[in-house]
């Protein structure tokens, strides 16, 4: 409890002394939040680390561009590329990795009572410069002994990329809430989040590695095959092939493509830190149809999101389905954020419903399971306290089942903290 209070206090102090106003930021940027729940779960941690990233990227005020207004045609571009390589990319990489390890693997581990430890390496290019012989990766280590169970291990293994895909989803929510505006660094983190482990997803080793060896994706494919009794080499290869094929859905993403293009054209070429995606407008509301992707305990999971918003609020309606061929898993839901209610309150909520195989961490070698329907209901809101400072939180209740970013078990869930309106 003391750690949580200290963390929230430090964050509040940082945001108080580094006002966002004056920097190039989206006009309707979402609130900065520092929220936590007793387990530092995935959604609260992802949102908090995303906000921390927005705070720390204020370094660009300390290092203004030198050649921007010199009128020279090439030097400003070269300077932006150098700044990208030495500042922007390493920082975005660190943010993505911290989310992956702490808010991803760590959150899923803490959810089942584990106490993970973390190891981080220098981001490139500093790793090549200062520790060229270090071949270790960033990793999360769980400190538990005894028999491990696939139902307990699978969510931890996939939790890393799940948190990255959740980051991308919350970025799309901010994109629509901000009328299509997105900061250069948010686009960087988005691209890194969406393409993490791409080489593993698309590589040749996916179907050949062991239950405990290899990286997250190789271990995931092996454990997924184990969970569904695909024990022969041919069956394991088929499971891995389906994961690889499904991954293409993750890359056919308009925000990803737009981010890549604007990083080069707006970011390097024109020196613009904030770009605007041309979102369709229907009756004065921005709308956006977008795919979403994640790994789940049953295989790859695909979403279609329909976003709609008019600053400051945003809404999302989605449906999801699985393509692993190992089970039937479907769902749908909706989320609404930041609807003004009076002058001091913003309210929202979410509802999700699904059918999927039961997740039971006490089960052993239970391959063919019945499906169970589930539901999640939550209220999300904030109340202004003084000036830009608000109390914000979420409180909900869900039944047992996998929902991206939420605890798997049944029961109440939510988080509480502070928000700062930029």
Partner 1 sequence: MKVGLVLVAAVGGVICTAGGCERLEDPCVVSAELPIAGVPGATAGTFVATEARTPAVLFLSREATPDAGLNAGAFATIPTGATVLVLDEAHRGETRRETFKAPARLAARKGSTSSPGIIWLGGAALFHWVESTTTTEPDGRTKTSAKLVLQTIDSAGVEKPAVEPPEMKCDDCRLDVAGLHIRGTTLITFAITPAALAIGGLGGPATQPRVGAFAIGPSGEILPRALPAIIANQPRGLPRFDVIDGTLVLVGPMLVPVDGDLNVVGPVLPRPGVLETAAILDGDPILVWASATQVDAGREALLPSEPNVLVQRFDRSGRPISNAQRITTSPAVQAIARSGDRLGVVHRSGKQYFALARINGEKIGGDIVVSDTSANDDVRLFGESSSFHLLSVSDGRVVRREMTCAP
Binding site for partner 1 (CB under 8 A): 147, 210-213, 226, 229, 231-233, 358-360, 362-370, 372, 374, 398-401, 409-412
Residue closer to partner 1 by CB (options 183, 227) is 227
Shortest distance (Å) from residue 31 CB to partner 1: 29
Residue closer to partner 1 by CB (options 414, 422) is 414
Residue closer to partner 1 by CB (options 69, 362) is 362
Query: How many residues are recorded in the chain?
Result: 422
Residue 160: count of CB within 10 angstroms of its CB: 30
Shortest distance (Å) from residue 137 CB to partner 1: 20
> Which residues lie across from 318 on neighbouring strands?
305, 333
> Which residues lie across from 297 on neighbouring strands?
299
**DSSP strands (E only) in 94-161:** 117-119, 139-141
Residue closer to partner 1 by CB (options 155, 422) is 155
DSSP 298-340: TEEEEEEEEEEEETTEEEEEEEEEE-SSSS--EEEEEEEEEEE
Burial class for 300, CB neighbours closer than 10 Å (0-12, 13-18, 19+): buried
d(CA 361, CA 354): 19
Taking the CA of residue 155 as centre, how many other CA atoms within 13 Å lie in the half-sphere pointing to its CB? 26
Residue closer to partner 1 by CB (options 30, 297) is 297
Residue closer to partner 1 by CB (options 135, 368) is 368
With H, G, I as helix, E, B as strand and everything else as coil, classify residue 139: strand
> What are the Cα distances from residue 141, in Å, to 155, 158, 182, 300, 312?
14, 14, 34, 24, 40
The candidate with the shortest Cα–Cα distance to 166, out of 73, 18, 50, 315, is 50
Residue closer to partner 1 by CB (options 310, 369) is 369
Shortest distance (Å) from residue 233 CB to partner 1: 4
Residue closer to partner 1 by CB (options 76, 393) is 393
Taking the CA of residue 102 as centre, how many other CA atoms within 13 Å lie in the half-sphere pointing to its CB? 17
Contact predicate 187/254, CB 8 Å:
no
Shortest distance (Å) from residue 366 CB to partner 1: 3
Residue closer to partner 1 by CB (options 1, 386) is 1
Shortest distance (Å) from residue 337 CB to partner 1: 26
Contact predicate 23/63, CB 8 Å:
no
Residue identified by tokens 């990319």 is 89
Shortest distance (Å) from residue 218 CB to partner 1: 12
> What are the Cα distances from residue 165, in Å, to 108, 286, 387?
15, 22, 33
Shortest distance (Å) from residue 406 CB to partner 1: 13
Residue 10: count of CB within 10 angstroms of its CB: 11
d(CA 56, CA 88): 11
Residue closer to partner 1 by CB (options 212, 328) is 212
371-386 and 299-310: which strand pairing? unpaired
Shortest distance (Å) from residue 173 CB to partner 1: 27
Shortest distance (Å) from residue 365 CB to partner 1: 4
181 token code pair: 């505006």
Shortest distance (Å) from residue 113 CB to partner 1: 15
């Amino acid at each position: 409890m003391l750690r949580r209070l200290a963390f929230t206090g430090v964050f509040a102090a940082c945001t108080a002394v580094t006002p966002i106003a004056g920097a190039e930021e989206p006009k309707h940027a979402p609130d900065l939040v520092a929220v936590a729940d007793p387990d530092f779960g995935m959604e609260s941690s992802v949102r908090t680390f995303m906000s921390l990233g927005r705070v720390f990227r204020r370094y660009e005020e300390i290092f203004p561009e030198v050649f921007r207004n010199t009128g020279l045609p090439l030097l400003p571009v070269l300077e932006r590329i150098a700044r990208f390589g030495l500042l922007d990319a390493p920082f975005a990489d660190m943010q993505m990795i911290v989310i992956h390890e702490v808010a991803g693997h760590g959150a899923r581990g803490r959810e089942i009572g584990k106490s993970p430890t973390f190891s981080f390496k220098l981001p490139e290019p500093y790793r090549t410069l200062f520790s060229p012989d270090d071949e270790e990766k960033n990793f999360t280590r769980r400190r538990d002994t005894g028999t491990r169970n696939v139902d307990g291990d699978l969510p931890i293994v996939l939790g890393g990329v799940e948190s990255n895909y959740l980051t991308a989803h919350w970025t799309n929510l901010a994109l629509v809430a901000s009328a299509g505006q997105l900061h250069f660094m948010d686009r960087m983190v988005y691209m890194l989040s969406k393409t993490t482990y791409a080489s593993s997803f698309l590589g040749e080793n996916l179907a050949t590695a062991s239950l405990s060896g290899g990286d997250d994706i190789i271990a995931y494919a092996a454990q997924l095959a184990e969970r569904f009794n695909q024990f022969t080499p041919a069956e394991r290869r088929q499971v891995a092939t389906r994961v690889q094929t499904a991954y293409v859905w993750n890359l056919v993403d308009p925000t990803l493509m737009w981010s890549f293009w604007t990083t080069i054209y707006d970011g390097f070429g024109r020196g613009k830190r904030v770009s605007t995606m041309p979102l369709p407008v229907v009756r004065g509301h921005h709308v956006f149809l977008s795919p979403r992707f994640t790994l789940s305990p049953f295989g790859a999971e695909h979403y279609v999101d329909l976003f709609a918003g008019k600053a400051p609020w945003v809404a999302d309606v989605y449906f999801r389905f699985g393509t692993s061929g190992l089970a039937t898993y479907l769902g749908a839901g909706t989320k609404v954020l930041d609807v003004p209610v009076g002058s001091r309150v913003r309210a929202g909520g979410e509802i999700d419903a699904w059918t999927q195989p039961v997740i039971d961490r006490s089960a052993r070698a239970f391959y063919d399971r019945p499906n169970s329907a589930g539901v999640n209901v939550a209220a999300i809101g904030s109340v202004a306290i003084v000036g830009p400072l608000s109390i914000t939180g979420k409180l909900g209740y869900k039944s047992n089942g996998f929902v991206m970013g939420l605890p798997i078990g049944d029961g109440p869930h939510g988080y509480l903290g502070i928000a700062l309106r930029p």
